[in-house]
Amino acid sequence: MTKFLPVFAAILAGAVLSLAGAAIGARVIESTSTRAVTNQLKLRGYEFVSVEGDGLQIVLTGTAPDEQTQLAAQRAAGHVVDPARVINVMSVVQQDEIPAPKFSIEILRNDSGISLIGLVPSAWERDTFVRNLQRAAGSSSVADLMEQADYPAPETWGDAMDFGVTAIALLPRSKISLAADEITVTALADSAAQKARFERDLERDIPADVPVTLAITAPRPVITPFTARVVIDEDGPRFDACVAETETGHARLLAAAKAIGIENPTCTIGLGSPSAQWAAAVETGMRALQELGQGAISFTDGEVNLVAAEGTSEAVFDEVVAELEADLPPNFTLRGTLPETEVAADEEAIPEFIAIRSPEGQTQLRGHIADERSKLATEALARASFGAHTVYSAMRVDPELPNGWAARAVAAIEALAYLNHGAATMTEDSMLIRGETYDPDSKASIASMLSDKLGATAEYTIDVTYVERIIPEVIIPTAEECVASANAILAESKITFDPGSTDLNSAANATLDEIADALKDCEDIEMEIGAHSDSQGRESTNLSLSNQRANSVLDGLLMRRVAGVDFTARGYGESQPIASNETEEGREANRRIEFKLVEDEEEIVAPEDAEAATDDAEPVTEDTEEVVEEPAEDGETQ
């Protein structure tokens, strides 16, 4: 037996040593795992979690703000160690009690019966309310589509419901919205008198503590013909008649009447308007009458009659009529009347045609034209010469004009086209061209054209001044200034992406518009668009994402046709941080887009330097355990 004692002793010693080694190994794994999980949770921003090791198990304690964050912290720990080793004993902050929903009922009543839609308290006497509605409306047809919730009824709920029953009894065609804090009644009445009676009866029963809005309408009268008449005489302005087609038109006409001096104007709203632009037409006519000073303007459906006061200047009358005719909406026909006065023949107004071109490029055509066809042809020529959207026509057709008037008007417009700005004034036997031009030969060109168009014996005066064009010097920015401008815009308005997306959002597009505008004068520049990320998630994922986002910015600038810059796109991933990735502020700063000149890039490492760098690099062994990180749950934002 003695000879076996050494064997037993060796076996016992080996067992003790194995147990000791296992214990030491377990403590090392416990300590390493605890430290790795703690670092991961802090990196993700889960500062509320405490990590404790219990053998091979990792115990998470602490108070999470909500269940979603609690589970996210547990998943983050599970990416460092085996998820089966993670024991989650975290608690969750007690949430405030869920507030009661807003209770309300929509009551619809028509000839078919009553419908109820809404959310009501469970303890409320719902069946009693339905029976009261049936008795009030004298109808057994009630469609109850209300839902209920187990919360106490608001304090003024009963008062609102009682008012609803009263309103349903009174209004056969109505929609009533009932809530403890607001009641809205929308209904139809058969006449204005019935509308007034409904409003009077309802106002008597309105609850003291619940605001009520009444919107009861009555059918509008049919008015034929649709008429408005405004008079301005020695007693001042006044409405002889006024109708409007809508509430908006009514308000517009009253405001226009007050603007010309009518005190306490009244207007009737009715049906039968000849145009949806009735109020706009009447308002335009009122302004024209005010320009005349005295007279009357009448609207009868689509016919408009403007009568000036005796003694009104024919030139002023012609100008007002021409402008009113141009400003009236379609489907309105104007007839202007100027009472005749006994004046000497030499005092009669001489018809004129005037074309004016302003320094801002706007062109006006005023005065007399022979017929409608000539008017259209003259307007077409002016639009072709000066631009379709810059021409305003206020010409008046006058069939009594002498022969050749239309041809002279065409010549006046052609002469005006030689000028930077100015005016052409034409009568039967004279023409005056005055203004400024940038072309020193314009005066001779105008004279040649007028002689050709009007004949060698025609009388005309050319008062044209040559002005030397001053072309501002264009300052081309340097390459450094272009890059600085682009980065300055990014500092003020960062290019952002939706979480996990490489598509530019609306805010990013607005920023690219600014950058494209800032780079429009840059020429022959090679510029790099660099996209950077923070260190959350896998390095390869961040590099790929930043590459795609840099190319999205490149595509956006190419679409905006920045012709003088040759762009390249490059993603750097997390390799070039400018702040710490340990804080949210630092990670936000690291997620960025930057512009730089291509020649500013670092030189490529020489082969011998690259070889040396390879030699200095720390070798990766097969035993090295890679900690796999999950990409950030909320996605990258640049």
Quick: pLDDT tens for 370-424.
899 999 999 999 988 888 788 888 888 888 898 889 999 999 999 999 998 899 9
Mean pLDDT across 305-324: 87
Instruction: State yes or no: pLDDT of 20 exceeds 60.
Output: no
CB burial readout 555-564, b (16+ within 10 A) else e: ebbeebebee
Instruction: Please give the pLDDT value at position 327.
Output: 87
**Under a CB-based contact definition with an 8 Å cutoff, are residues 232 and 295 in contact?**
yes
591 φ, ψ (degrees, to nearest 5): -85, 105
Half-sphere exposure of 7 (CA within 13 A, CB side): 4
Mean pLDDT across 535-552: 84
- Both tokens of 556, joined, read 């956006």
What sections of 212-345 are H helices per DSSP? 247-259, 278-292, 314-327
Lowest mean pLDDT among 244-253, 381-390, 531-540, 601-610: 601-610
Instruction: Please give the pLDDT value at position 453.
Output: 85
What's the rounded Cα separation, in Å, for the pair 389 and 397? 22
Query: Domain spanning 227-337: which CATH class is it, in words?
Result: alpha beta
Instruction: Please give the pLDDT value at position 414.
Output: 92
Q: Which residues contact 107 (CB under 8 A, 6 or more apart)?
A: 114, 115, 116, 133, 164, 168, 174, 175, 176, 177, 178
CB burial readout 289-315, b (16+ within 10 A) else e: bbebebbbbbbebbebbbbbbeebeee
What's the rounded Cα separation, in Å, for the pair 423 and 413? 9
CATH 3.30.1340.30 fits 24-92, yes or no: yes
- At residue 614 the predicted structure's pLDDT band, cuts being 50, 70 and 90, is very low
Q: Which helix (H) or strand (E) holds 306?
A: strand 303-308
- Both tokens of 460, joined, read 């005309």
**Helix/strand/coil for 256:** helix
**Between 405 and 221, whose confidence is greater?**
405
Mean pLDDT across 627-632: 39
Instruction: Please give the pLDDT value at position 621.
Output: 36
**Helix/strand/coil for 325:** helix
Mean pLDDT across 216-243: 87
Count other Cβ atoms within 10 Å, centred on residue 638: 22
Q: Which residues contact 108 (CB under 8 A, 6 or more apart)?
A: 114, 115, 117, 174, 175
Instruction: State yes or no: pLDDT of 342 exceeds 60.
Output: no
- At residue 129 the predicted structure's pLDDT band, cuts being 50, 70 and 90, is very high
544 φ, ψ (degrees, to nearest 5): -65, -45
**Where do you find CATH 3.40.1520.20 in the chain?**
104-217, 227-337, 350-466
- At residue 346 the predicted structure's pLDDT band, cuts being 50, 70 and 90, is very low
Mean pLDDT across 208-227: 86
**Between 524 and 98, whose confidence is greater?**
524
Instruction: State yes or no: pLDDT of 631 exceeds 80.
Output: no
Instruction: State yes or no: pLDDT of 182 exceeds 60.
Output: yes
| Residues above pLDDT 90, as percent of the chain | 22
| Residues above pLDDT 70, as percent of the chain | 86
**Between 168 and 6, whose confidence is greater?**
168
Mean pLDDT across 427-456: 86
Q: Which residues contact 501 (CB under 8 A, 6 or more apart)?
A: 635
Instruction: Please give the pLDDT value at position 106.
Output: 93
**Under a CB-based contact definition with an 8 Å cutoff, are residues 251 and 222 in contact?**
no
What's the rounded Cα separation, in Å, for the pair 325 and 318? 10
Per-residue pLDDT tens over the stretch 7-19: 666 666 666 556 5
**Helix/strand/coil for 147:** strand
- At residue 473 the predicted structure's pLDDT band, cuts being 50, 70 and 90, is low
**Under a CB-based contact definition with an 8 Å cutoff, are residues 438 and 396 in contact?**
no
**Helix/strand/coil for 567:** strand
Instruction: Please give the pLDDT value at position 349.
Output: 64
CATH 3.80.10.10 fits 479-616, yes or no: no
Instruction: State yes or no: pLDDT of 613 exceeds 90.
Output: no
- CATH no. of 350-466: 3.40.1520.20
Instruction: State yes or no: pLDDT of 284 exceeds 90.
Output: yes
For the chain, helix (H) and strand (E) counts, in that order, are: 16, 27
Q: Which fold has domain 104-217?
A: hypothetical protein tt1634 (3.40.1520)
Q: E strands, 362-418, where? A: 363-369, 391-397
Amino acid, res. 47 = E
**Look-up of token digits 């990320």:** 533
Angle between helices 405-416 and 372-386 (to 10 degrees): 10
Query: What is the sign, positive or negative, of the torsion defined by CA atoms of 575, 578, 581, 582?
Result: positive
What's the rounded Cα separation, in Å, for the pair 502 and 547? 9
Q: How far is CA 85 from CA 54, 58, 59, in A?
A: 10, 6, 8
Instruction: Please give the pLDDT value at position 255.
Output: 92
What's the rounded Cα separation, in Å, for the pair 557 and 448? 51
Count other Cβ atoms within 10 Å, centred on residue 513: 13
What's the rounded Cα separation, in Å, for the pair 95 and 70? 14
Instruction: Please give the pLDDT value at position 160.
Output: 92
Instruction: Please give the pLDDT value at position 412.
Output: 92
Instruction: State yes or no: pLDDT of 119 exceeds 90.
Output: yes
What's the rounded Cα separation, in Å, for the pair 401 and 395? 13
Instruction: Please give the pLDDT value at position 608.
Output: 41
**Between 451 and 343, whose confidence is greater?**
451
**Average pLDDT for the chain:** 82
What's the rounded Cα separation, in Å, for the pair 39 and 30? 14
What's the rounded Cα separation, in Å, for the pair 33 and 31? 6
Instruction: Please give the pLDDT value at position 181.
Output: 92
What's the rounded Cα separation, in Å, for the pair 461 and 423? 12
Per-residue pLDDT tens over the stretch 82-110: 888 888 888 887 765 667 788 999 999 98
Count other Cβ atoms within 10 Å, centred on residue 441: 11
Q: Which residues contact 453 (CB under 8 A, 6 or more apart)?
A: 407, 408, 410, 411, 414
Query: What is the sign, positive or negative, of the torsion defined by CA atoms of 621, 624, 630, 632?
Result: negative
